[in-house]
Structure 1
Amino acid sequence: MEVALVVIVVVVALGFDYTNGFHDAANAIATSVSTRALTPRAALIMAAVFNLIGSLLGVEVAMTIGSGIVDLGPETGTHGLVIVLAGLIGAITWNLITWRLGLPSSSTHALIGGLMGAGLASSTTVHWSVILDKVVIPMVLSPIVGFGLAFLLMVGVLWIVRNMAPAKTNRRFRLAQTGSAAAMALGHGLQDAQKTMGVILLALVAGDMHDLEDGIPLWVKLASAGAISLGTYSGGWRIMRTLGRKIIELDPVRGFVAETVAASVLYTTALVFQAPISTTHTITSAIMGVGATKRLSAVRWGVAESIAVAWILTIPMSALVAAIMYLVLHPFLG
């Protein structure tokens, strides 16, 4: 029974990884597609490839998810596996709801909220200090930093190109956007695929099939990287329209700056702070930052408000669904 449940959890985790890929594909490519720097198909292929590469570049975020959110060890057995399964279902449910509405919410926070909700419903220890340091503080700071850096860098770039012909400037930055979009996709893989690796590691440890001290098995890394890349290639057109056009009409210069800033924040938080931040929050706030350099009214704040509401609801709603799923599943599986 326990082995079968581990297999089910792994499959569901890879399903979450797939939804993460198509839900967050817009993070990497919306700006490049909206400015016509890349065709949609070329952008999706590029994003899938660099998601795959980024997934294999580190394990810091995965270890935070796998050992820092809820306290599950080999002694928890099927009970721990039900917690992980309920958390994944809560995250997938919220991903699908926000995808259907075209809202760029955070798959990261949906997963963390799901694990928290299932942990609380099961009276399992939730590591609040880790959540505060690695989730809540980065969740608040990353959009602020993304907005501020994007605004300042955009002002600097506009000053540098102030005497250049607009047509030549746009051509050059369309070319540069190929690199910045690839960097963004790499950062997405580095952050988001690792979260699925962490969840699978959590399931293997709870099922007493792997020792946490041994790190993440290679097959887990490859499976997680493949699932998120496949999901990215499937595309997320609804959310792409929101990021690429509804917040602000982007030009190549602003698209390049937004992607560059967002990618830099993703690398720093993953490699330096081991913090699982939201790629969605980061790129969205960077787009708002570059848009605000035109004028504040250039940003469609009504759309931004809807996105902010989705951000605020992500953790509690995915936690609620996960808690309900735990209460439903535990009598049968726990």
Structure 2
Amino acid sequence: METAALIVVLVIVLALFFDFTNGFHDTANAMATPIATGALKPKVAVLLAAGLNLVGAFLSTEVAATVSGGIVREDPSTAHMFPALIFAGLIGAITWNMLTWLLGLPSSSSHALFGGLIGATLVGIGIGGINFGVVLSKVVLPALISPVTAGLIAYLATKLAYLITRRYDGKPDGRDGFRWGQIFTSSLVALAHGTNDAQKTMGVITLALISVGWQAQGDHRPHIYVIVACALTIALGTYLGGWRIIRTLGKGLTDVKPAQGFAAETSTAATILASSALGFALSTTQVASGSVIGSGLGRRGSSVRWRTAGRIAIGWVLTLPAAAVVGGIAALIVRIGSGWGVLVDVLLALGIIVGLFLRSRRNAVTANNAFSEVAASGRAVDVPDAPPLTPRQERVQRAQERVKAKAKKGER
């Protein structure tokens, strides 16, 4: 029992570190479009995202219940193995999370976590340890449906926004009101991220506590201290680690206009909040990317760059199986080595974390090694340049410039 307790403590520490990596890997994407359009300064955006992630983590526990009581089958005969297998699964998730963060590859922290847990359970217990019905209904299907749904909503919202404001066509600042709206909608996305992603770590910790009898069987709601710890950790990760991604957001989203950003964020927030209430474990990155692509298509004359969209999709598809392979290898070490296998996994986890972190410190932050997944999705849509102004629009624009020039002289 003492060994099991020690492993649970290690699981909690590693789970909170995963929560931290989730914060700097995913949450910055909630503020991608307002930074790209100038609605928010990067420092303000990151601080706002961190605070709202903290608040969002307290709003719901449905996703946590899905993770702790649905994906892995509760079998008393194998319960003693759960802490070590959860530990192995977290190694798989963190390895993939940090590697993709370092290389700038499109991925989902959520699917990395599920992949690591599934791979470790398959090796440690067997196929009977996975509840594939829950995996299909709560993880796989939402992963396939949510980006499409979010993209469709964003497409329609963008069409509507441009239809309502058509009289502003040709005016450089005609739709700037949407910039202010983006502050509200991007805040909703950050809040929604907290309601969904922080809960996944809560579910993992709760599952570990149940496996050693520190929480009652069948009670899959996380305790308040687990909620507080996970909320604070993901918020801290957002604030301290988001800069690596934030610095590259403008590269892929320079064509995103305020109206598009407003529509994309509204769609992202609505999709994630609704899914959190239903207990669906979504990827914020995938939903936000689908929204950005949909909003791009909502602009007149745009088209999809299918090769770019295909590369993004491949990155998403690879995440779960890649994390499962690493989690499975870590579980195999535990299974072969018994007591010392956990020690080997601890050393491996420390080596991977420290090694990847030191590697990231050696490299400058560029588009080659740190590229936002949401920013990359902006390149999947070919948006035409703005149409030339009509003679009347040119006269109006010149008149506006003269008025501004006179106003500036008057201020002097």
- Report the TM-score when normalising by structure 2: 0.77
Pair 1:73–1:10, CA change in 2 (3 A): farther
Q: How does 1:124-143 map to 2 (within 5 A)?
A: 124=126, 125-143=129-147
- Measured against aligned partners, the alpha-carbon deviations of 1:9-29 in whole angstroms (never above 9, x if no partner) come to 000000000000000023211
Structure 1 position 302, deviation (Å): 4.1
1:94 maps to what in 2? 96
Opposite residue 54 of structure 2, the aligned amino acid is L
Structure 1 position 235, deviation (Å): 3.7
| Residue 216 (structure 2) pairs with residue 189 (structure 1) | no
Opposite residue 267 of structure 2, the aligned amino acid is V
2: distance between equivalents of 1:67 and 1:13?
17
2: distance between equivalents of 1:200 and 1:234?
23
Q: Which of 220, 227, 231 is 1:221 aligned to?
A: 227
1: distance between equivalents of 2:77 and 2:154?
47
Higher relative CO (Cα under 8 Å, sequence separation at least 6) belongs to 1
Pair 1:94–1:193, CA change in 2 (3 A): same
1:63 maps to what in 2? 65
Q: Which of 268, 278, 282 is 1:262 aligned to?
A: 268
Structure 1 position 59, deviation (Å): 0.4
RMSD: 2.0
Q: Which moved more, 1:274-283 or 1:94-103?
A: 94-103
2:279 maps to what in 1? 274
> How many residue pairs were aligned?
333
Alignment check: 8 A CA contact 1:244 1:250 kept:
no
Q: Which of 302, 309, 322 is 1:304 aligned to?
A: 309
Secondary structure at 2:299's aligned position in 1? Answer: coil
Pair 1:43–1:27, CA change in 2 (3 A): same
Sequence identity, in percent?
43
Alignment check: 8 A CA contact 1:27 1:280 kept:
yes
Higher helix share: 1
Q: Which moved more, 1:192-201 or 1:76-85?
A: 76-85
Gaps of 5+ in 1: none
Q: Which moved more, 1:53-62 or 1:293-302?
A: 293-302
Alignment check: 8 A CA contact 2:159 2:299 kept:
no
Secondary structure at 2:49's aligned position in 1? Answer: helix
Q: How does 1:143-182 map to 2 (within 5 A)?
A: 143-164=147-168, 166-182=171-187
Secondary structure at 2:148's aligned position in 1? Answer: helix
1:40 maps to what in 2? 42
2: distance between equivalents of 1:56 and 1:69?
22
Alignment check: 8 A CA contact 1:243 1:284 kept:
no
Alignment check: 8 A CA contact 1:103 1:239 kept:
no
Structure 1 position 305, deviation (Å): 2.7
Structure with higher Rg: it is 2
Secondary structure at 2:168's aligned position in 1? Answer: coil
| Residue 255 (structure 2) pairs with residue 249 (structure 1) | yes
Structure 1 position 240, deviation (Å): 4.3
